[in-house]
């Protein structure tokens, strides 16, 4: 996708979305873990699966396909809460990516404040002090610049406010 974006305006090519995104969505929809509370490893896998579905949904929105992530927001929250957090540095980039996706895709959901607070807290614990550092970290997992841009800008403002109010940190 990044290679295609470097040479053309990909967002007007519905065929590309149909050929490349729909099969990925089908794969992520074909498996799931229901009993994650007692198994932190399965919880991490499930959080990745759900976040990938939400992320691909955000990409599809750039192609003009409006999808709702309402049903996935509480599932992602539960999967993140159920993960093993004994070594956050080991999963630093993944955790930041999960929380960013959840936050960006949950603006009108009751669990949105969880993602704002959790991302602000994770950024403090993991010494990620700027929005650019956060985006650099999530790009190592998966991120296409320009997707979910409006929601991402709003989430940036909310996380910045949380960092200031809770930790006295001004984030640029």
Instruction: Quote the crossing angle between the two packed helices 149-167 and 131-139, to the nearest 10°.
Output: 130
Residue 123: predicted pLDDT: 93
Of the chain, the percentage scoring pLDDT greater than 70 comes to 80
Model's pTM, two decimal places?
0.82
Residue 153: predicted pLDDT: 94
| Mean of all residue pLDDT scores within the chain | 84
Residue 87 has pLDDT above 70, yes or no: no
d(CA 92, CA 102): 16
> Where residue 144 falls among pLDDT bands split at 50, 70, 90?
confident
Structure-token pair, residue 84: 């093993």
With CA atoms as reference, report the closest residue to 149 among 109, 115, 98, 104: 104
Output the CA–CA distances (angstroms, integers) from residue 83 to 37, 45, 68, 79, in the order listed: 8, 9, 25, 6
């Amino acid at each position: 996708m990044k290679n295609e974006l470097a040479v053309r305006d990909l967002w007007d090519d519905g065929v590309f979305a149909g050929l490349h995104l729909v099969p990925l969505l089908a794969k992520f929809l074909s498996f799931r873990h229901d009993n994650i509370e007692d198994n932190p490893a399965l919880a991490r896998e499930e959080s990745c699966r759900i976040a990938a579905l939400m992320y691909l949904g955000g990409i599809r929105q750039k192609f003009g396909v409006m999808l709702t992530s309402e049903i996935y927001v509480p599932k992602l929250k539960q999967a993140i809460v159920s993960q093993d957090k004994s070594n956050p540095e080991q999963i630093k980039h993944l955790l930041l990516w999960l929380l960013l996706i959840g936050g960006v895709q949950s603006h009108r959901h009751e669990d949105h404040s969880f993602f704002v607070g959790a991302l602000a807290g994770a950024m403090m614990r993991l010494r990620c002090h700027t929005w650019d550092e956060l985006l650099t970290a999530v790009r190592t997992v998966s991120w296409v610049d320009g997707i979910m841009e409006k929601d991402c800008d709003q989430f940036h403002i909310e996380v910045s406010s949380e960092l200031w109010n809770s930790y006295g940190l001004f984030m640029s």
